[in-house]
Amino acid sequence: MIGLLIVSHSARLAEGVQEFVSQISSGQIPIVAAGGASDGSLGTSVERILTGLEQLRSVDGILALVDLGSAVMSVETALEQFTGPPVQISNAPLVEGAYLAAVEATQPEATLEEVAAAALQARELIKVFE
């Protein structure tokens, strides 16, 4: 089982992505939101990210989907203190990447590599056909 960690500068944005993506995974995979700074203001928090990672401790692998700026560095810093299952940080756009990752992760026996590859396909997603 692969879990998803949603990291955004906005706590509400992270929760929104979690809500949106949980709908298509129908609660089959764990998705945790870790948005906002430690006081809830805009920013990213190593502590909040670590708490999120700990909530996903029982899965076989975690894909972290991030928005931008300090989100990547905050996840990397948290990973230095995390001793649980393997974690990959995705280069995919947050919403679309999380969506495609969740679709892949609901496949039985999906691996972290497969889920990470599925998320990356979001970079080539065409929304408007001309």
Partner 1 sequence: MPITIEHVTHFLSTAAKLINAHRDELTALDAAIGDADHGANLDRGFAAVLARLPTVADKDIGTVLKTTGMTIVSTVGGASGPLYGTAFVRAGMALADRHEIGADDVVLALEAALDGIVARGKAQRGEKTIVDALAPAIDALRAALAAGQPLGRATQAAAAAVYAGAQATIPMLAMKGRASYLGERSIGHQDPGATSTAYILQALAMVCNHNEEGA
Name which of residues 38 to 97 contact partner 1 (CB under 8 A): 38-39, 41-47, 68-70, 73-74, 76-77
Distance of closest approach, residue 117 Cβ to partner 1, in angstroms: 23
> Nearer Cβ to partner 1, position 18 or 44?
44
Distance of closest approach, residue 15 Cβ to partner 1, in angstroms: 17
What is the Rg, in whole angstroms, of the alpha carbon atoms belonging to the chain?
A: 14
Residue of 9, 13, 98, 112 marked catalytic = 9
C-alpha–C-alpha distance, residues 65 and 115, integer Å: 11
Own/partner pairs for 48-51, CB < 8 Å, 24+ apart?
49/5, 49/7, 49/74, 49/75, 49/78, 50/78, 50/81, 50/82
Distance of closest approach, residue 25 Cβ to partner 1, in angstroms: 29
What amino acid positions are annotated as catalytic residues?
A: 9
